Structure 1
Amino acid sequence: MQELLVRLARMDERATLLQIHQASVQGLCTGQYTAEQIAHWLDGRDATMYTQGIEQQRLWVACAPELVGFVEISTNSIDKLFIAPPAAGLGVGKVLLTHALGTLQAQGLRQVVIEATLTAAPFYQKHGFRIIETAISAHGGAEAPLQVVNMQWDAPVN
């Protein structure tokens, strides 16, 4: 993979963000979730779900040179981190996670939380997150509940 560029996402990239999001869930989560759970998880999502993150400059993309992943943060959490399946395992997630954690730390945050999928939990553990609890996410709805892992990262003490 070529060198990655991490930059703020643009409004005209929302459709591509949705494609990456959907492809990531459909391509990488099938070992831990059923087809029904994945269908309910993605049901009703559209490109407008990225508008607020882009407007508030808290959604970044990784380019190589095409978009291969993205991360979105809020005040104390990482809300989204998705990688296009062909780029999975090539370091894109680590680069985006490091960027997000650095940004949150620069804002004075000492703890960051995330609701991780069963698929992503080992990745986050590898990068210093610890498991707080397992839970059921609202994303799948009552018809196909999704088990998730609530995790926390604590900034290193200097």
Structure 2
Amino acid sequence: MATDFCIRDYRTGDADTTLTIFQRAVREVASQDYTPAEIEAWAGHIDRNVWANSLERQFTRIATRGDTPAGFASLTDHGHLDMLFVSPEHQRCGVASRLLSTAEQAARQRGIIRLTTEASLNALPFFQAQGFEIVKAQEIERRGQILRNYRMEKALHPAGNAG
């Protein structure tokens, strides 16, 4: 259940944990919609320092169950939901919804009126259910592979006027 999870701030020591969650989510969940070559282009060969620096610069939160990290989300200063990934064993437990809600609240507090994201094929239904709309289908080249995803956006109501 989602109520079993806590959301906390990202810490410098979380880089390896978040990288593992990301790679497992892509390799074990997104692999239903992408080829092995596409998965490797997406989740392989990640520079740990670049990864850590990116998450430290963004609004990044970690969902945990006890001491076990379950997922994470990162939001840029411009309202782009850069990452939202949940470990395979915590899929469909409300973790992603809680992380997204936390990011939306932070965006509203910063005066951001619109969130954007790039949703993978398997994440598309989640984002649509959360009120995001497709802006356009995309084909992104990464390490010689073409990855299909969707540019999406969601209008945010001002803080205190959720709905």
Per the normalisation by structure 1, the TM-score is 0.92
- Which residue of 1 is the match for residue 19 of structure 2? 18
CA distance in structure 2 between the aligned counterparts of 1:58 and 1:46, rounded to whole angstroms: 20
2:41 match: secondary structure: helix
Distance 1:16 1:53 in 2: 12
Q: Which of residues 105, 109, 119 in structure 1 aligns to 2:108?
A: 105
The 5 Å alignment of 1:44-55 reads 44-48=45-49, 49-54=51-56
- Mapped to 1, the partners of 2:111 and 2:19 lie a distance apart of 30
Question: 1:34 maps to which residue?
Answer: 35
Query: What pairs up with 1:76-91 in 2 under 5 angstroms?
Result: 76-91=79-94
List alignment gaps of at least 5 residues for structure 1: none
Give the AA of the match of 2:74: E
Partner letter of residue 134 of structure 1? Answer: A
Cα distance in 2, alignment partners of residues 7 and 154 from structure 1 = 25
Q: CA RMSD in A?
A: 1.5
Aligned to 1:137: 140
CA deviation profile, 1:111-141 (whole Å, cap 9, x unmatched): 1100110110110000000001001124x33
Contact (CA 8 Å) 2:10, 2:61: kept in 1 or not?
yes
- The alignment covers a number of residue pairs equal to 155
Stretches of structure 2 that go unaligned for 5 or more consecutive residues are none
Partner of 1:128, secondary structure, is coil
8 Å contact from structure 1 (residues 18, 46) kept in 2: no
2:80, 2:54 → 1: CA distance? 15
- Deviation, 1:57, is 5.5
> What one-letter code is carried by the residue in structure 2 that aligns with 1:34?
T
Whole-Å Cα distance in 1 between the matches of residues 55 and 43 of structure 2? 18
DSSP-derived class of the 2:103 partner = helix
The answer on whether the counterparts of 2:58 and 2:75 sit within 8 Å (CA) in structure 1 is: no
| SS of the residue 2:115 aligns to | strand
